[in-house]
Structure 1
Amino acid sequence: MSYDFIEDAKLERILDMVEPTAEEIERIINKSLNKKRLNLEETAILLQAKKPALVEKIFAGAKELKDKVYGDRIVLFAPLYVGNKCINNCKYCGFKASNDEVDRCTLTHQDLAQQIKALESRGQKRSILVYGEHPDYDADFIADTVKTVYQTKQDKGEIRRVNINAAPLEVAGYKKLKEVGIGTYQIFQETYHHDTYQQVHPSGPKSDFKWRLTGLDRAMEAGIDDVGIGALFGLYDWKYEVLGLLEHTIHLEEKYGVGPHTISFPRLKEATNMDIDEEYLVDDDEFKKLVAILRLAVPYTGLILTAREEAEIRREVIELGVSQIDAGTRIEMNGYTEKDEEQDLNREQFKIGDTRSLEEVIHEQVGNGKLPSFCTACYRLGRTGEHFMEFAIPGFIKRYCTPNAILTFKEYLEDYATEETRKDGEELIANKMAEVNNQEIKEELEGKLRRVEDGERDLYF
């Protein structure tokens, strides 16, 4: 099954408009604040706003919406590269098949277990496994690696949710992954512009635009109702790519009744033997604007900000509606068990910008009043897909997210935090507890926090 629902001319035409008025911007932001997904035309109006006062309105609206839907929590995870063999020749990627300088590696199950133990020893509870596109990395291989991750425990540590970033599969392959309990299946289209897509994907299975575009359709058909989309900003006009992400969202909503669980928006970064025109590189101001607009365009969807970005820009962008970040990230093969802090691009897909440890990132988030979360409750209680939207679209998810974030953060403070982070973290929890206005939930949460202090783990609402 493959078909095409992206019309280049349509998206370009929608973007062809004059600068909007303040009244138009206000109206659109108010719609978003009422938890209603924006349409293409409304999003294009936000994209065309250039006056500083209008852009500030967009930023303020994105911040308010994030608070309404998710509160101050920031979900944390770690990516883990399982294999970097690849038969594609994507011009922007260090792992492309024609790159003879890259060190090829596929983790054995023993290697994988060691990487997972290293992540768990730092306090990670959520991971996304990443695979090149290669015949060795079929659905059976991916399923076996997922089983290994779930079975691997280190002291009190465990990975409770395994997400997947891999090539598109047939429906039968997705069903195998659903059986082993994966979380979100993530496929980035990279660029939604057809001519650009062909230019940067000259050969390999990934050169088939339609097969990749409908990869998540097949996941949905297989019963995986948690999917993630994304675009690699810097390949084509960033405004067009925002509309492409929204068009993909609308397609999933209309066909399956549920949009993407997450949207990612990585920027193009340095890689070995990269061959890309720099015409469409996205600067920091444009980046902040596109994140804020994505937040407003799709209120219910989690926004993922990756460690491709440097710490300074991550601090700013998190405020504009981001709900998930990776932290303590290493993307070299076997990178989590190595002490060398220097990046080796011959062992990485691209260069990352934020190389801080998980502890450092958490300490900063606490200092900024953000509540770090390792929560996996929605996934494990079946609050996914359409059920998640029932909670998230009207904003009720905040009722569950804050208590569960507090509980998982309490685990981190008890088991992994430095004394300084623990002290500040306990103060933050006390402040967040004071904000819980449902007395029944508050009393239950207080009881569960005491149980965590007594050594129990994995308590949630």
Structure 2
Amino acid sequence: MIGEFENPASLLEKARRGEGLLPGEVLSLWSQATPADWAAVFECARVLNEQKFEKKIRFFAPLYFSSYCVNDCLYCGFRRSNRLAKRRALTCEEFLREAKFLWQEGHRSLLLIAGEHPVYAGVDRIAGYLQVLQKADLAFSVTVEVGPLDFTGYRTLKALGVDRCLLFQETYHRPSYVLVHDGPKKNFDWRLEAMERAVLAGLGKVGLGILLGLHSFREDLAGLVGHAWTFKKKFGFFPATFSFPRLQPAYGVSVPWAAQETVSDEDFEKIIAVSRLAMPSVGIVLTTRETPAMRKRLIELGIGVTHLSAGSSTQPGGYTVEPEERGGQFDLRDHRPLREVEREVSSQGYESVFHGG
């Protein structure tokens, strides 16, 4: 899809009007922008971000509840062939312990996340966990990120009180996608259409994302923007959030292939800024995959980040059950507790939001 605007000045003017950018326009801007143009891109992103989201950062914590997975993704610590991974699916008692810990830390928004598995990450399992939260009067805003579900599965999550669902396509380049995925996840289209099923089932807030490093990040960013425009055309609104995790090492996983294109810190900043121009109303998530210095810098720049994870663990039971055990989905780079990150954000002039968003 090629846009009618071809030069950076025209694209910037379109973005300033809040009209967003089409996939072809994203690629055109990236290929033509001079250093002076990039300075203007960052300033436009800063203005749009403050107009749409004010100076607020929404915090959340991931709660991994199972590391069992039927897939064999080359880059993931949960891949089924990883013999060093210690598999665990939290009992309801263990789940409650983890949730109480996060509540006491100050979190009010949870991301329930697990490897893809029909039993250990199925809807019935999630329902049990949500009932535990309700009985304990832990009124979290709950987001769920599991493997693709059918319409009925998403409708059940909606009925259980789930606020939103996330699912990342990882890469929109089909050959690269097929190369690195094995198992049910290899079905590109079933995954691609999952968040549409969620919306049709009544979950109005969904999140999309790409795993930077599997393919050309420019092409994948354009693919993500195109996916978001599909939502706008079909449903009248854009997805709630974008996520751009960069490929990180994982325990027990030796990746035998080189990433298609390494994403530098400079390019990562540009990805955030261009995303804000392309999708002025879509929140942008930044996780603890990034270093404290990078997270601080992106907040200071103010070019797009709206959601932060903090005090995170990527392994089931990682907060209270087995906090010293290795075996998370991927390595983390920011280990600071929530309150420390919150203080830093506050010192940068931002208001912290803990519930919903």
Note whether the superposition's TM-score is higher than 0.5.
Answer: yes
Q: 1:107 aligns with which of 90, 94, 108?
A: 90
Residues 1:303 and 1:213: Cα distance change in structure 2 (over 3 Å): same
Q: Which amino acid aligns with 2:284?
A: L
Counterpart position of 1:40: 23
TM-score by length of 2: 0.94
State whether residues 124 and 159 of structure 1, in contact with CA within 8 Å, keep that contact through their aligned partners in structure 2.
Answer: no
Say whether 1:189 aligns with 2:173. no
Q: Secondary structure at the match of 1:217?
A: helix
**Is residue 2:286 matched to residue 1:305?**
yes
CA offsets per residue over residues 117-143 of structure 1, 9 Å max, x none?
A: 000111110010001111212122222
Deviation at 1:56, TM superposition (A): 1.2
Shift of 1:146: 2.3
- C-alpha separation in 2, matches of 1:231 and 1:262: 12
Q: 1:363 to 1:237 in 2, by over 3 A?
A: same
Aligned to 1:228: 207
- Asked if 1:268 corresponds to 2:247, the answer is yes
When residues 142 and 239 of structure 1 are mapped into structure 2, their CA distance, relative to the original with a 3 A threshold, is same
Secondary structure of 1:324's counterpart equals strand
Partner of 1:280, secondary structure, is: coil
Shift of 1:371: 1.0
SS in 1 for 2:61: strand
Structure 1 CA distance for aligned equivalents of residues 132 and 61 of structure 2: 16
What is aligned with 1:218? 197
Q: 2:67–2:315: 8 Å Cα contact kept in structure 1?
A: no
Higher relative contact order (CA 8 A, sep 6+): 2
How far residue 26 of structure 1 moved from its aligned partner, in angstroms, is 3.3
**Structure 1: gaps spanning 5 or more residues:** 1-9, 379-461
Which letter does structure 2 place at the counterpart of 1:47? Answer: W
Q: Distance in 1 between matches of 2:221 and 2:210?
A: 8
Tell me the secondary structure at the aligned position of residue 305 of structure 2.
coil
Matched AA of 1:37? G
Q: 2:107 aligns with which of 124, 128, 142?
A: 124
Deviation at 1:50, TM superposition (A): 4.6
Provide closer, same or farther for how the CA distance between residues 339 and 197 of structure 1 changes in structure 2, counting only shifts above 3 A. Answer: closer
Shift of 1:57: 1.1
Alignment partners' CA distance in 1, 2:101 and 2:212: 31
- Residue 270 of structure 1: CA displacement? 0.6
Query: For the Cα contact (< 8 Å) 1:120–1:159, is it kept in 2?
Result: no
After TM superposition, the structure 1 = structure 2 runs for residues 7-86 of structure 1, keeping only pairs within 5 Å, are 24-86=7-69
Contact 2:8 2:33 in 1 (8 A): no
Deviation at 1:262, TM superposition (A): 0.6
How far apart in 2 are the matches of 1:150 and 1:28?
A: 48
Q: Is residue 2:70 matched to residue 1:87?
A: yes
CA contact (8 A) 1:74 1:323 kept: yes
Once residues 230 and 70 of structure 1 are traced to their aligned partners in structure 2, the CA distance between those partners, rounded to angstroms, is: 20
State the secondary structure of the residue aligned to 2:116.
coil
CA distance in 2, matches of 1:358, 1:114: 18
The 1:354/1:150 distance shift into structure 2, 3 A limit, reads farther
**TM-score, L = length of structure 1:** 0.73
Higher helix share: 1
Counterpart amino acid of residue 39 in structure 2: E
How far 1:245 sits from its partner (Å)? Answer: 0.4
Equivalent in the alignment of 1:239: 218
The superposition leaves residues 8-57 of structure 1 with CA deviations (integer Å, 9 ceiling, x where unpaired) of xx6xxx69xxxx99xx3233223223222222232222222452211111
Q: Distance in 1 between matches of 2:48 and 2:248?
A: 29
Equivalent-residue separation in structure 1 for 2:135 and 2:36 (angstroms): 52
Structure 1 residues 143 and 51: alpha-carbon distance in aligned structure 2, compared to 1, 3 A threshold: same
What are the residue-to-residue correspondences of 1:146-225 with 2, within 5 Å?
A: 146-153=130-137, 158-201=138-181, 203-225=182-204
Q: Is residue 150–residue 160 contact of structure 1 (8 Å, CA) maintained in 2?
A: no
TM-superposed CA distance for 1:295, in Å, is 0.9
Root-mean-square deviation over aligned CA pairs: 1.9
Q: Matched residue of 1:85: which SS? A: coil
Shift of 1:358: 0.3
Q: C-alpha displacement at 1:298, in angstroms?
A: 0.4
Contact map agreement 2:24 2:222 (CA 8 A) in 1: no
1:338 deviation in Å? 6.2
- Checking the alignment, whether the CA contact within 8 Å between 1:76 and 1:372 is kept in structure 2 is yes
Shift of 1:97: 0.5
Q: How many residues align?
A: 351
Q: Residue in 2 aligned with 1:328?
A: 311
Q: Is the 8 A contact 1:63 1:321 kept in 2?
A: yes
- 1:327-346 counterparts in 2 under 5 A? 327-337=310-320, 346=326
Distance of 2:306 and 2:74 partners within structure 1: 30
Q: Partners in 1 of 2:134 and 2:313 — Cα distance?
A: 20
Distance in 1 of aligned mates of 2:49 and 2:321: 36
How far apart in 2 are the matches of 1:77 and 1:217? Answer: 24
Look up the SS of the partner of 1:143 in the other structure: helix
The corresponding residue for 1:281 is 262
- What secondary structure is seen at the aligned counterpart in 1 of 2:319? helix
Q: Is the 8 A contact 2:94 2:321 kept in 1?
A: no
